[in-house]
Structure 1
Amino acid sequence: MMEKPVDTSPEGASCEAPSPLASPAHGSAETRLYTFDGRFAWSGVEPQAYKPPSEDWARVIRHVLIGARGEQTTFHVRYFEIAPGGYTSLEKHQHAHVIIGIRGVGRVVAGTECYELHFLDTLYIAPQTPHQLVNESDEPFGFLCLVDAERDRPRPLDQEELERLKRHPRTRHAVRG
């Protein structure tokens, strides 16, 4: 159970919210609170398939926290969770990503580098950088992903790019698909 905020303002104003609304996402049409349940789910946010079924990815779900319900932002915030042995598609696109690890440990192939992402490690992935996230552990790997609200569609790598990553000493052990 969440504790109520403590009023520390000199004016006596409070950030305490009014009693919860009937909706699982509390607040007005402009302001919403999606409460975290401790099991990597949020009130009013349904888990979704990562993408349409494909052999390019495995064992990934997503939760669109901000950006799917009319929020007026220039960015979207999504939570992705990769089950043990799972991986995202290997892709590139014009928009950048910011990835913040919040559960478990995962590997991120970004260009010809491979990074290990732990709790609150933050990785900026530049535009047009081939990237893939992989869970080689026995525990779920969860991360927040921040992207532009208006963005291009992901594109797969061409055969030459794929072969280069599969041969590169820093990425060959991590690339999947």
Structure 2
Amino acid sequence: IGDTIRVSLTPEPGGERTREVVVAQEILQTMGLRAFTPMVVACPGCGRTSSTFFQELAAKIQGWLREQMPAWKERYPGVESMQVAVMGCVVNGPGESRHADIGISLPGADEAPVAPVFVDGQRTVTLKGDRIAEEFQAIVDDYVRRRYGAAEPRQREASPGVA
């Protein structure tokens, strides 16, 4: 396998064929051959999860990360290798979140409505309330800025004798 593979998908009615490119990139990235965008790891859901909130949050974060990549690629070298975990309960969630660069464990069935956030393996904050998604997105954005640091544009060196 080189830098490219071909994936054929039947598009949704009225859908675009660009989904084929995204799936091909995800295959190459999952195999560890090339990184295109930060990966979102999410649990598939089970009897411990009580809603689709974690699935919706995982999809929202993945979409948001893809939207950020054109700008981030220029400003934050290496950000494409970042791993984000969005887990649906606190049984397996904290472990997965600790192994990711940044992760969140959402409340599952019969669990307190709190969501611990882990950054570089350490629990840093617990989110509560109706703005968990927005607050987590802000934490991810801050993490990218701090960890990957804005690349400064190269300054031209002045030629000798030129003021």
The TM-score normalised by the length of structure 1 is: 0.24
Higher RCO (C-alpha 8 Å, min separation 6): 1
Q: Which has the higher strand share?
A: 1
Judging by fraction of residues, say which structure has more helix.
2
Normalization by structure 2: what TM-score?
0.25
